[in-house]
Structure 1
Amino acid sequence: MKPDAARVLIIGGGVTGTGVARDLALRGIPSLLVEKRDLAAGASGGNHGLLHSGARYVGSDPEAARECMEESALLKRLAPHCIEDTKGLFVAVPGDDEHYIAEFPDLCAKVGLPAKELDPKTAMAMEPHLARDVIAAYEVRDGTIDPFMLCLDNISHACSLGAQMLRNTKVTALNVEGGAIRTVSLHNEKTGDELVIEPELVINASGAWAGIVADMAGAPLSVVHSQGTLVITQDRLSARVVNRLRMASDADILVPGGSVSILGTTSVRIDDPDDCRPTVEEVDRMLDDAIAMVPILETTRYIRAYAGVRPLVADTNGDANGDGDSNGGDRSVSRGYTLKDHASQGVANFITITGGKLTTFRYMAEKAGDLACRKLKVDVPCRTRTEPLPPSDAGRWTDPRLGARTWVDRAEEGDVILCECEMVSGRVVDSMMQEMAQDSKLSALSALNIRSRVGKGPCQGCFCGPRVTAHLYDEGWLEADRGLDELKEFVGRRWRGKAPILWGVPLQQAELQEALLCGMLELERKP
């Protein structure tokens, strides 16, 4: 199928967009997904990886809490390979709101959410790094989910059923005539290629960029850009998700993931989602607050900080599932999703699906698919509620355990480790490049970072970046200056996460990285 033969154009390669592509593919509707960067490049790759039980929102947004509870249970059954069923704790420390602590079990009961009260000493025995003065604790059904694997598996399944994807491809114009989008202009940011397609329907699943895309069609959508910053510890500090027992606030969730833990998050309004980056001030504020719950956070080593942008719809012209807040209190804007049919604004074949949570992506895709079917006059029910998500070759290398297991169990003669932190070998890099062969002219290093653990360990690309680049040159995947250009871009993106945590060992490591990349490879001289 040629790109211009797709009935539906999906804009955005996060979990929502890839989920919509799979939903439509299972209904027999061909789609083309376009993403200006790569899969999970926005909020889908800039979050905790928390599979919400719903307990975080029982006090502020019961509907979102109920959606999270129901979808979490579904995903544990349908996509278990993407999930670690860690369970979770909600704990309170002296100074936390005693009224909310007392009300919490009733709030959970109202939405049907299981929450088991624990003796504080039992909770501290379960998680030794908890503060010694915990005053209340509840066990809930939280878990963790790999958003990169989730995106890759969704789009892989969709493509196996006839969908297509173009990465590094930006929408430059939505051309509206006679009350509908007639053509869409696309530009490949890496190759410079231009493409014009004529879809029957356009689905805007671009997350924090949803308002920007909607404006291109003359169908305004007011989106609040709420930046959340998180930090990654070098070691895994808990077996379970640990939540602060209070109304949703900053620095109140510690999420285990593989061999590390992730602390977050903040809520800072920004004007442009492309300006999203973690700041020193946010990191300092989080650590100052979080040590009351987990004291070891004061002395642990951090690998990196990162940030994502929540797309919170503040004014949906009556189509929202939640309320807006014109006063800028972003914590009070609903975490529910928004499905907007822009026919009410004079664009009949244009839909926006945004907001929501990582946990509720499948439900959001189902609702968008239902509306798409009504518009396309297709009478086929959603199948993602019952059809398991098959693991894909493309997504398997995001598992933090797989590299070491593969090296120990199936090491091949002549193979070498290129990323020592995450045990990614040359053979693994080659297999990923072969899977992306059709995109061989596009970004390689950044694509490997999304599809595997390359660059995600303690060295943050200091050693593996040059090693992988050299290997790609040796194997003929890169030539001329392309590899050095990609290495500079790759290191620059990793640096954005290291800059806010430059104290102790990370500061020493940064000096070494500068000597290696600037002194030896002279990357600072690349334009």
Structure 2
Amino acid sequence: MKTQCDILRTQVLVIGGGVTGAGIMRDLALRGMHCVLVEKRDVNAGASGGNHGLLHSGARYVLSDPMAAAECREEGELLKRLAPQCIEDTGGLFVAMPGDDESYAADFPGLCAKAGIAAKPIAPAEALTLEPALSSEIVAAFHVPDASIDPFRLSLEMIAHARELTGCNLLRGMRVTNFEIFDGRIVRAHCLEAKTGRKLIIEPEQVVNVAGAWSGKVAALAGAHIPVLYSSGTLLVTSERIARRVINRLRPPADGDILVPGGTVSILGTTSVRIADPDLCRPSAAEVDLNIEQGARMIPALRSIRYIRAYSGVRPLLMANTGAGDDRAQSRGFALFNHEAEGLTNFLTVTGGKLTTFRLMAEKAADLVARRLGVGAPCLTRSVPLPEIGGCEWTGPGRSPRAWLARKEEDGPLLCECEMVSARTVDELTKDCHVDAEGLGISALGVRSRIGKGSCQGAFCGLRVTAHLYDTGKCTSRRGLLSMRDFFANRFKGQRPILWGAQMRQYELAEALHCGLISLEMLPSHKPDEVR
């Protein structure tokens, strides 16, 4: 792919770089197939990166969607065994507050039992002993096997494993613009790299559309229709970890009713707002207020704790009806569309589902691809552990300062002090994870590490990492500075709805550095093909 209009041939083209796309890539590679994964932004840029990081026990859905609850329970158990490096098996609590539906609490253990979910009742006093941050007003509590999961490490390790197995390719920052269809088959997919204007033609034998909330738009390029609606959810990141376990409100799913631990922080959410287009997804101050108001009822500290970021994700929900009711009533199950009724024989779409059920979604999609290609190899993702891949370990928060102190001479200076990311780590990421430092730039490093995710939200580390990339020759043109500016702009989108108190002061410092000191906002823009 060295010319402006290269042609790339592959057995399978996978469109969408979330956890399900990465899971399909690995599943196919384990069966001996080669595929190319195309993602218009970067790994987990959609719902896979905009969620709680909750590995569901299934208990949340035992009333509204029993089938999805059972799937979550089974898949969660598999993932704990096969990908333990991506999971913190925290356990979880469901707690009821005064005024919550008593019949729901009474029915909860029986509904969990039907789905095979272990829900152990515990006394409110015991729950308070386990989690002192809980409100002293709780009236009922159950322990369930919830856990937290790192979706970024999960996707990166699956992609890396697929590369090792059959040389699969990941093309980031590239979107499919149109298909050439002949005799009911997609024979060519035309792709465009937005930052450079580079064009690429991919000639696949099979095409898998797993673009999440964007799957309807991809399907439309092939003349197909997917009944997906868009439900946006806003979440908040606290400056510290509040609880050891996942904390759920014991009521039908609603706003601000889950707190998930993630290393050194906690994540509060989520809302559910219908939007007309997935590209319109962004956190709002009103949703931030709603999450805090509701969450603080079960965890009072949420009223006063410092929040360092808000973010949003779009749930791709299958449209069971077109009414204006609560989107939480829509199924959390998934669907596989073979598109054969629409005259397409080498195109399929898998959408819906949950992060917890990605492996099952990938299995079903890969089964259909294998049948169409005449590949008899079975699915192995139910039994083959996900290997730990070097270079994919830096996504988890809370790496010990002691680890860096023990090898600081080897690791070099810390470029991100909040999250303990050293110069050597940045060098390893640009090498081992095939990050184009000048193309997708520091944002790509942020996906693969904790750069920019600490309390300063990139105020200092953004400058240090970019300077290091120039000092080591990984950046040589103005594109590196433009990438840094884009990185800061994306960080600001998540800070805008939570600018009060300590975080407002932090933002004013960042503004003084980026605008007052180095006048970054005055940097001219660039054309797609410009390199200087």
TM-score exceeds 0.5: yes
Q: 1:124 aligns with which of 123, 128, 133?
A: 128
Q: 1:371 aligns with which of 368, 373, 384?
A: 368
Q: 2:195 aligns with which of 178, 190, 196?
A: 190
The aligned counterpart of 1:305 is 310
CA distance in 2, matches of 1:405, 1:367: 44
The aligned counterpart of 2:344 is 347
CA distance in 2, matches of 1:114, 1:105: 8
Q: Is the 2:391–2:428 Cα contact (8 Å) retained in structure 1?
A: no
CA distance in 2, matches of 1:399, 1:257: 8
CA distance in 2, matches of 1:302, 1:84: 22
User: What code does the residue aligned with 2:471 have?
Assistant: D
- TM (normalized to structure 1)? 0.96
The aligned counterpart of 1:356 is 353
The aligned counterpart of 2:423 is 426
The aligned counterpart of 1:399 is 396
Deviations 1:204-234 (A, max 9, x none): 0111100000011000112111101000000
Q: Is the 1:304–1:501 Cα contact (8 Å) retained in structure 2?
A: yes
Structure 1 range deviating more: 330-339 or 176-185: 176-185
Structure 1 range deviating more: 326-335 or 199-208: 326-335
Alpha-carbon distance, 1:480 to partner: 2.9
Q: Is the 1:42–1:207 Cα contact (8 Å) retained in structure 2?
A: yes
CA gap 1:396/1:343 in 2 versus in 1, 3 angstroms: same
CA distance in 1, matches of 2:407, 2:423: 13
SS of equivalent to 1:379 = coil
The runs of 5 or more residues in structure 1 that have no matched partner are: 315-322
Q: 2:20 aligns with which of 16, 19, 29?
A: 16
The aligned counterpart of 1:267 is 272
Q: 2:256 aligns with which of 232, 237, 251?
A: 251
SS of equivalent to 2:344 = coil
The aligned counterpart of 1:519 is 516
Alpha-carbon distance, 1:275 to partner: 1.6
CA gap 1:295/1:3 in 2 versus in 1, 3 angstroms: farther
- TM (normalized to structure 2)? 0.95
User: What code does the residue aligned with 1:372 have?
Assistant: V
Alpha-carbon distance, 1:190 to partner: 2.4
Structure 1 range deviating more: 64-73 or 472-481: 472-481
CA gap 1:52/1:437 in 2 versus in 1, 3 angstroms: closer
Equivalences for residues 125-524 of structure 1 within 5 A? 125-162=129-166, 163-314=168-319, 323-402=320-399, 404-412=401-409, 415-437=412-434, 439-524=436-521
User: What code does the residue aligned with 2:330 have?
Assistant: V
SS of equivalent to 1:100 = helix
User: What code does the residue aligned with 2:455 have?
Assistant: P
1:110 pairs with 2:114: yes
SS of equivalent to 2:256 = coil
Q: Is the 1:3–1:32 Cα contact (8 Å) retained in structure 2?
A: no
CA distance in 1, matches of 2:404, 2:91: 30
Instruction: Determine what percentage of the aligned residue pairs are the same residue.
Output: 55
The aligned counterpart of 1:320 is none
1:92 pairs with 2:96: yes
Alpha-carbon distance, 1:520 to partner: 1.0
1:65 pairs with 2:62: no
Alpha-carbon distance, 1:393 to partner: 1.5
CA distance in 2, matches of 1:87, 1:324: 34
Alpha-carbon distance, 1:399 to partner: 2.3
Q: Is the 2:462–2:488 Cα contact (8 Å) retained in structure 1?
A: yes
Deviations 1:217-259 (A, max 9, x none): 0001121111010000001000000000001111100000000
Alpha-carbon distance, 1:409 to partner: 2.6
CA gap 1:438/1:464 in 2 versus in 1, 3 angstroms: closer
CA distance in 1, matches of 2:126, 2:321: 40
Cα RMSD for the two superposed structures: 1.4
Q: Is the 1:325–1:333 Cα contact (8 Å) retained in structure 2?
A: no
CA distance in 1, matches of 2:233, 2:401: 31
Alpha-carbon distance, 1:434 to partner: 1.6
Q: Is the 1:16–1:205 Cα contact (8 Å) retained in structure 2?
A: yes
User: What code does the residue aligned with 1:487 have?
Assistant: M
User: What code does the residue aligned with 1:164 have?
Assistant: N
Deviations 1:156-180 (A, max 9, x none): 0011112111111110112222212
The aligned counterpart of 1:46 is 50
CA gap 1:515/1:305 in 2 versus in 1, 3 angstroms: same
SS of equivalent to 1:214 = helix
Deviations 1:29-75 (A, max 9, x none): 11110111110111111100000000000010000000000000000
Q: Is the 2:93–2:248 Cα contact (8 Å) retained in structure 1?
A: yes
Alpha-carbon distance, 1:327 to partner: 3.4
Q: Is the 1:403–1:424 Cα contact (8 Å) retained in structure 2?
A: no
Alpha-carbon distance, 1:401 to partner: 3.6
Deviations 1:179-217 (A, max 9, x none): 121210011122221111211110001111000000110
User: What code does the residue aligned with 1:76 have?
Assistant: K
Alpha-carbon distance, 1:437 to partner: 4.6
